[in-house]
Chain A
Amino acid sequence: MSIEHTNAADPDELSDANAPSRTTGERATGERAADATDASDLDAEGLVLDYPTAPEPVIDGASLAAEPGAVTALVGPNGSGKSTLLKGLANQLAPEDGSVLLDGRDVHSMDTKALARKLGLLSQESTSPDSITVEELVHHGRYPHRGFFERTTEEDARAVDRAIELAGCGHLRDREVGSLSGGQKQLAWIAMVLAQDTDMLLLDEPTTFLDLHHQMEVMEIIETLRDESDVTVVVVLHDIEQAARLADRMVALTDGEIRARGAPEAVVTEELLADVFRVDADVAQTENGPRVTPLRARHEKSE
């Protein structure tokens, strides 16, 4: 399977585009069937997302199925609608049309706390008061598990410990968030989302602006989650090589439309880079996944 060109406005093409991707999904699911029983399944159909201020929809009829227990990476150029799509999946934006089903239930009609117990979202920009400690921040991740007057339970404490350990920020536990570096902050925020203890995790560019070490830390956390905790992950990544290395499936977006989806080797091709990212590049398959060497920017209109 190679690149599928989807034109969402045309229903025929849309269903065409969906069919092969489904098969890929099923094949991969089959491979993981044994350990994927607990993982959540997220299925978006014909999603149209817009902002009140924007003249036309940012995402115009995207369909996306996150494979249970696998990592799906969303890639695309700036402004292609990756983050918007992620917000739509997480019910942060009400869809104009279409639906998002989490384990068969419409996320838009779910109770917000119930949804937050199943689906965690790490946004791109997170702000917090400088003077709270990492541990306090991570405790906030337990919010959806607590009633209005409930106190923290043993389970909350365990989840917080687990999350801090998994995110590898035990040594930062008592530090104030304001005193941390960008990379350390990101680990703390990831720990907060992990404390939510969800089966489904959406991450919006978790590695952008981090140094190499912290980028690798974040990637390792995601891999551990997939391999050991059966968490379904959808992650927006800026770096296409990184995405190809990390993800089981990749989805490439441009101008709010899904242009390609499938296994990384199938998606990361010279044609796609020319088409979606508007660069001429060499793609070499290595044992660490595809290696992309960008050569030059394409200046002609890609259409």
Chain B
Amino acid sequence: MSGERSAVGGGASTSRSAGTDRFGWLLDPKLVSVAAASLAVVVVAGLVQVSFGAYSMTIGEAWRAVLDPAVLLDPRWLLNFLVGEELMRAITGFRGELPELSHSTLIVWDIRLPRVLVGVIVGTNLGVSGAIFQAVTRNELASPFILGVSSGAGLTILLTLVVFGSLSAFLPLIAALGGSVAFLIVYAIAWKNGTSPVRLVLAGVIVGTVFGSLQTALFFFADDIGVVQSAIQWTTGSLTGTDWAQVRLALPWTVVAVLLSIAGSRQLNLLLLGEQTAKSLGMSIERVRFALSGVAVLAAAASIAVAGIVSFVGLIVPHVVRNLVGSDYKRVIVGCLFVGPALMLAADVGARLGMSVLTGADAQIPVGIVTGLVGGPYFLYLMRRRQNMGEL
């Protein structure tokens, strides 16, 4: 994530000096305040996350551990975390032992920070993916999972856990693959001399219904409560137990998906003018729609692979952003890069600490449950406040 952040920030500063309008839109006051507020939420939620746990420390200690120069100023340690020890040694040619870190730094960097980073990655992916799907289907009730992605992933997760237990090491990849395959099936069903937003959504519902039933049926064949719990964690979405391996798995795809979606924002804007206008302006609408959906599925798959199926984030984030910055998709996508992580991390704080605050029990719930609990009322609020919802 830090890479994109700095790229975005860099763009803004060059435009200020050059005075051109290439990145001028990034300085839109609304967008800047949305980004700043979201960053604040990310920092606070992140600090809360890294300071709680079996080895408890104060916020100040956590802060110092995160900013420990022994890690931040040592590329070997940074690479060690980001790409893994082997690659780090290959890149730097370093053979010896890494310098020792303090206990709290090690705990924060090795165990707690990755969960925050995975949250950021998942929030980013879901926000961007939802924004794209809402433009492609021209329906603001669309989510990353509208075109069968979640049901395909859910079914393959269950199949893997219940039937092909030996493959469970590859579960993240299988889940992402299942989601993508389901998306292709949806597209094939919707295709008849081309597609349309309505046909795509209907095909998504059809595939979702069938796959959902199969998924539920598979629960009956699970003979072990552990398997069932694991399946529920995957199908509701959870950040528990994520570490650097998940960051390494999802980060490259996230960067690709984010860059492609920013590049595609002009096409998304044109899609919002309706199929006819887009076509008469020379857009190859089917090709663009499929390519953009592909980017959105890639982003959704990356988040499924590391956190399972987290509901509502992809639905709400583009909504919030659109309400705040307007409908220009360049701004919407950039806004989602900030609001997505903020919502995800805030929800994860709830998932991590909610139970202990409410009941005193030291238990964590899947973050997907919290996002659902937050998402429902937010939609109720929107429904009450606005006259017409649905079409974009």
Contact = CB atoms under 8 A, between A and B. Distances in A.
Nearest to B279: A92
B350 to A, nearest CB: 32
B291 to A, nearest CB: 11
Contacts of B276: 92, 123, 125-126
**Of B22, B193, B282, which is in contact with the most chain A CB atoms at under 10 Å from its CB?**
B282
Interface in B253-305: 263, 266, 269-270, 272-274, 276-277, 279-284
Interface in B372-392: 392
B392 A129 contact: yes
A136 interface: yes
A112 interface: yes
A126 B282 contact: no
A158 interface: no
B22 A151 contact: yes
A115 interface: yes
B282 A117 contact: yes
A132 B192 CA distance: 32
Interface in A88-119: 90, 92, 111-117
A251 B14 CA distance: 56
Contacts of B266: 143, 146
A123 to B, nearest CB: 5
B326 interface: yes
Given A113-B282, A117-B282, A126 B263 contact: no
A263 B192 CA distance: 42
B327 interface: yes
Interface residues of chain A: helix, strand, loop or mixed (majority): loop
B28 interface: no
A93 B289 CA distance: 19
Interface string A150-161: 011000000000
Contacts of B263: 148-149
A119 to B, nearest CB: 8
Contact of A143 (B193, B274, B281, B328): B281
Contacts of B281: 116, 140-141, 143-144, 196
Nearest to B192: A52
Contacts, number: 66
B327 A127 contact: no
A128 B272 CA distance: 6
A143 B279 CA distance: 11
Contact of B274 (A127, A136, A144): A127
B282 A116 contact: yes
Contacts of A127: 273-274
B276 to A, nearest CB: 5
B283 A143 contact: yes
A143 B282 contact: yes
Contacts of B277: 123, 126, 140
Query: Which residue, B192, B193, B280, has most C-beta atoms of chain A within 10 A?
Result: B280
Contacts of B274: 125-128
Interface string B308-349: 000000000000000000111000000000000000000000
A52 B282 contact: no
B2 to A, nearest CB: 24
A163 B269 CA distance: 20
A81 interface: no
Contacts of B270: 140, 143
Contacts of A149: 263
A123 B280 CA distance: 9
Contact of B284 (A112, A130, A151): A112
A140 B280 contact: no
B269 A140 contact: yes
Interface of B: 21-22, 192-193, 263, 266, 269-270, 272-274, 276-277, 279-284, 326-328, 392
16 contacts: A52-B193, A90-B280, A92-B280, A112-B284, A113-B282, A113-B283, A114-B282, A120-B280, A123-B276, A125-B274, A127-B273, A127-B274, A131-B327, A140-B270, A143-B281, A143-B283
Given A112-B284, A116-B282, 19 more contacts: A52-B193, A90-B280, A92-B279, A113-B283, A114-B282, A121-B280, A126-B277, A127-B274, A129-B392, A130-B327, A131-B327, A132-B327, A137-B273, A140-B270, A143-B270, A143-B282, A144-B281, A148-B263, A152-B21
